[in-house]
Amino acid sequence: MAHRFRGNSTQKMDLAKGQVSVPSTFRRVIEACDPDWVEGRKPQFVIVYGDHRRDYLECFTMTAMNEIDELVDAMERGSIEREMVEELYYGQSHPAEVQPDGRIVVPKPLREKIALGEQVFFIGAGDRFHIWNPATYAAKKAARTRDWLDRQPPDFDPASLLRGRSRD
């Protein structure tokens, strides 16, 4: 997929309406990756809120969800693995759309699940983006990344993890 979510942004949530503005660069990716979207229509995406352990919302474009659909379809029908993946990606998800003003509605149960307040943290993750409570992100995800990097050698280059990448 050529279109990727990159960067991060903190946005203010309208708590009364449960609305928050999606960063404009993220909106362009959502539009480009919704095969049914045309100017004047609301681009669609899917919010996966997941199980009790997940403390963020994972947002997939329609193209990314179509890829997940194909992977699920390739799994053995009736297997516990397929059943669990279907539960996590289909049963614990919410279809969403970007309003003409660039806002999305985050349903109250999802806001409560990850303790969203007045501030919402968006971070790109390639073919998807995550929505976090900023304090939770700072305490868990950012701390985890710092800890992992601190365990690497001083000259560590994250690009060395990319397969097929030649390093001259």
Residue 42 is part of a domain; what is its CATH number?
3.40.1550.20
| Within-domain flag for 1 | no
* Domain enclosing residue 29, as ranges: 8-161
* Of residues 18, 10, 9, the one with CA closest to residue 112: 18
Mean pLDDT of the chain: 93
pLDDT one-digit tens code per residue, 105-156: 999 999 999 999 999 999 999 999 999 999 999 998 888 899 999 999 999 9
pLDDT one-digit tens code per residue, 47-80: 999 888 999 999 999 999 999 999 999 999 999 9
- Domain tally, the chain: 1
Give the pLDDT confidence score for residue 137 in this predicted structure: 95
Cβ proximity of 6 and 125 under 8 Å: no
> What values do phi and psi take at 155, rounded to 5?
-95, 15
| Within-domain flag for 168 | no
